[in-house]
């Protein structure tokens, strides 16, 4: 019986240490996520991909709030949250200079918090290269929209027939009409643009815009968004 009591006592003594280790592991995991999101946020703002920047901000806010629940003094994160609000405001205003300054202030605050917490060896910086290689940080839909206006707007209505006046009269089919055709597909449009699409139309005279592969991808992304009814941005 005494042996059982001794074992229970030992477990009880080890429980606080085990809980502390669990909290430390959970906090480390959250900080690792925040580090990746911090890097992705920079490139989203740098390339004016405001939708992606807003997405990353939401995740940073959530993970920062979760981190606060694990800290002995959650108020320590107050200054970081204030800096994050400034970044969020710059994103809403689509202001690159304001975003750059607010982001730098946020990064400095992260390092101040690390030093105050005894982790001065962990220094965060403005990233110098994308954190992942399988993601574009430009807003492909916005780029495609601008390119469609520049390359297709002479003959096609790109978005709004009431506001656009293509030089070609009568104008060619609007892009909205094209994407709503039953035959439309992203792959078919991509192949169509790659082919040069000469010898089209009643006069067999549709010009070849001579687009690079990445530009074709941007226009296809925009057309897919147009078909889905997404608002312009």
User: All domains of the chain, ordered by start, with CATH?
Assistant: 2-116 (1.20.120.10), 140-228 (1.10.760)
CA-wise closest residue to 81 among 113, 41, 43: 113
231, 92, 136, 177: CA torsion to nearest 10: 10
pTM value? 0.77
- Cα–Cα distance for residue pair 139/94, rounded to 1 Å: 13
Helix/strand/coil percentages in the chain, nearest 5: 65, 0, 35
- Cα–Cα distance for residue pair 116/104, rounded to 1 Å: 18
CA-wise closest residue to 214 among 152, 157, 147, 131: 147
**Eight-class DSSP state of 119:** -
The gap between the terminal CA atoms of the chain, to the nearest Å, is 73
The CA-atom distances, in angstroms, between 109 and each of 67, 71, 113, 212 are: 15, 17, 6, 42
**Eight-class DSSP state of 49:** -
Res 8: pLDDT: 35
Say how many C-beta atoms besides its own lie within 10 A of residue 14's C-beta. 10
Taking only the tens of pLDDT, the chain with its 233 residues reads 333 333 333 434 445 665 677 878 888 899 899 999 999 999 999 999 999 999 999 999 999 999 888 877 878 888 999 999 999 999 999 999 999 999 999 999 999 988 988 889 999 999 999 999 999 999 999 999 999 999 888 888 898 887 888 877 777 889 999 999 999 999 999 888 887 555 555 555 667 777 899 999 999 999 999 998 876 55
What SS3 class is residue 84?
helix
Res 217: pLDDT: 94
CA 204, 206, 212, 215 dihedral sign is negative
């Amino acid at each position: 019986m005494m042996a059982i009591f001794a074992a229970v006592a030992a477990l009880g003594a080890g429980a606080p240490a085990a809980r502390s280790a669990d909290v430390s592991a959970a906090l480390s995991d959250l900080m690792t996520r925040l580090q990746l999101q911090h890097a992705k946020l920079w490139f989203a703002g740098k390339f004016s991909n405001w939708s992606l920047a807003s997405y990353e901000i939401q995740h940073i806010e959530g993970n920062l709030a979760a981190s606060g629940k694990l800290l002995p003094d959650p108020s320590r994160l107050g200054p970081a949250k204030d800096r994050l609000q400034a970044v969020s405001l710059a994103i809403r205003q689509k202001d690159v200079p304001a975003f750059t300054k607010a982001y730098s202030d946020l990064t400095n605050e992260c390092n101040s918090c690390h030093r105050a917490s005894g982790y001065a060896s962990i220094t965060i910086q403005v990233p110098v290269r994308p954190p992942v290689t399988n993601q574009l940080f430009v807003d492909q839909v916005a780029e495609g929209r601008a390119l469609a206006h520049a390359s297709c707007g002479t003959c096609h209505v790109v978005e709004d027939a009431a506001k656009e006046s293509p030089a070609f009269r009568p104008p060619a089919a609007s892009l909205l009409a094209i994407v709503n055709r039953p035959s439309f597909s992203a792959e078919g449009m991509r192949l169509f643009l790659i082919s040069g699409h000469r010898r089209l139309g009643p006069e067999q005279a549709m010009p070849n815009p001579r687009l690079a592969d990445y530009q074709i991808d941007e226009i296809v992304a925009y057309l897919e968004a147009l078909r889905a009814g997404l608002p312009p941005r």
